Amino acid sequence: MAIVSLKEVTKIYPLGKTEVHAVNGVSFDIARGDFISIAGPSGSGKSTILNMIGCIDVPTSGTVELNNHITSGLTDREITELRHKFVGFIFQSFNLIPVLNVFENIEFPLLLGKKSIEQKKRKEWTDYLVEEVGLKEWTKHRPNELSGGQRQRVAIARSMATKPELVLADEPTANLDSETSESIIELMKKINKDMNTTFIFSTHDPTIMDLAKHIIKLKDGLVTSEYRREK
Ligand SMILES: Nc1ncnc2c1ncn2[C@@H]1O[C@H](COP(=O)(O)OP(=O)(O)OP(=O)(O)O)[C@@H](O)[C@H]1O
Ligand SMILES: [Mg+2]
């Protein structure tokens, strides 16, 4: 069963008196546990597609299904719940909270849910995540004391805090050098393997794109190719 399914998805943005066709009838399925890149040049529709999968934006026509539920049929409350529990987000600009240290940034999503988690369990799980992303020595440091790659590691750990089934990362390596970029994708791949979390990341970089197991290439809002790499 697909965890994500796009069926003939189109997104048109009004732009003054004209309109922009950002996505033009795109269909694809993503299996649970997949590790997929959505690749394409600037303006090809990568962010628009990720935003529709993450329920940040809605299609103009066609449907996006998460776990076989059509997202446009959900209530606001269901979407909020889904975004909190089912989906994790990673951004190109990291989006960490500057006044919180590494531990606190990673723990933060756990303080937002309706059901409070016992402090001991919260600490254990956060410690595990800090370790998983290799930042044990940096637990008490604030984001401005970290490199870009370390910041993105914090963001990855934070995205995993609520144990989401799906993580969406829009150009997670856009602000990183090529070596750090590869290590960030490898870290996501390790989590994908360890926890069977489905990852979808976008990139315009062919080297980064090729680190995925399943690749969807976009151009002008259309899928130009889709293939899998066995490794
Ligand atoms: N809110 C908006 N209003 C109008 N047009 C938009 C809006 N968001 C995106 N677009 C247009 O839709 C098209 C696809 O944009 P999108 O941001 O999805 O591309 P992208 O592949 O993520 O590009 P980049 O690599 O630069 O991030 C572009 O032509 C863009 O200008
Ligand atoms: Mg984009």
β partners of residue 202: 38
For residue 56, pLDDT beyond 80: yes
Q: What does the pLDDT look like over 86-96, one tens digit per residue?
A: 999 999 999 99
Q: What does the pLDDT look like over 83-128, one tens digit per residue?
A: 888 999 999 999 999 999 999 999 999 998 767 788 999 999 999 9
Contact by Cβ (8 Å): 59, 72:
yes
Closest CA relative to residue 183, chosen from 128, 135, 127: 135
Query: Which helix (H) or strand (E) is 104 found in, with range?
Result: helix 102-112
Closest CA relative to residue 132, chosen from 71, 84, 195: 195
Q: Grade residue 231 by pLDDT with cuts at 50, 70 and 90.
A: low
* % of the chain at pLDDT higher than 90: 92
Q: What pLDDT is recorded for position 85?
A: 85
Q: What does the pLDDT look like over 132-144, one tens digit per residue?
A: 999 999 999 999 9
Q: What does the pLDDT look like over 67-80, one tens digit per residue?
A: 999 999 899 999 99
Mutation to probe ligand 1, out of 13, 57, 216 (largest number of atoms < 8 A from CB): 13
* % of the chain at pLDDT higher than 70: 99
For residue 23, pLDDT beyond 70: yes
Query: Would you put residue 8 in left (φ > 0), alpha (ψ -120 to 50) or beta?
Result: left
3-state secondary structure of 37: strand
Measuring from each residue's beta carbon to the nearest atom of ligand 1, which residues come in under 6 Å? 13, 15, 20, 22, 40, 42-48, 204
- Residues, beta carbon < 5 Å, ion ligand 2: 46-47
